Amino acid sequence: MPVRPPVQTSTQLGVSNTKMLWRGLIRRCPACGCSDTHSSYATMRDECPECSLKFERIFGHSIGYIGLNTVVTFSVTFMVLLVGSILTRPDIPVVPLAIATVLSAVVLPALFLPSAHTMWTAIDLAIRPLAPGEIDPRFIKVDPVAGEWANES
């Protein structure tokens, strides 16, 4: 009997990867859109109170959102430095530009942290399909095992 390829999470949930990423950016559960993903500003819940999706799907999940936060912070900090240099040339004001660059490097990681949590979960869902039992079955549109439409009533 041939081995069936895994059903992608976007197909299982009936939600596009883009929508999952957008939900993650605005600090919502990528799977169901629930807004109660954090117990405090910097602390993500273990699972979604609506769909029961475990936010830390594998050991080491936190490495992903730390990496995502770092990449976004470095990119924005570089853009502040680059755009500031281009807009003010030839007499680049070094001190104000340095202050703006350091502020972006210090403030952005703290501001982006909750979004990094949920965005990384969305990226993880897009990369690694849901396994049976990882989410409340009521949220599954296509059965990952049978590959057929589920919950048709």
Q: How far apart are CA 59 and CA 149, in angstroms?
A: 31
The pLDDT, as a whole number, for residue 81 is 92
Task: Report residue 145's pLDDT band, with 50, 70 and 90 as the boundaries.
Answer: low
Establish how many alpha carbons lie within 13 A of residue 10's alpha carbon, considering only the half-sphere containing its beta carbon: 11
Establish how many alpha carbons lie within 13 A of residue 23's alpha carbon, considering only the half-sphere containing its beta carbon: 21
Span 130-151, mean pLDDT? 74
Place of tokens 């949930």: 13
Sign of the CA dihedral running 92, 94, 96, 97: positive
DSSP letter at 54 equals B
H or E stretch covering 126: helix 94-127
The pLDDT, as a whole number, for residue 5 is 74
Q: How far apart are CA 34 and CA 135, in angstroms?
A: 13
The pLDDT, as a whole number, for residue 147 is 54
Percent share of the chain, pLDDT over 90: 64
| pLDDT of 146 above 80 | no
**Residue 15 identity:** V
Contact 142, 149 (CB under 8 A): yes
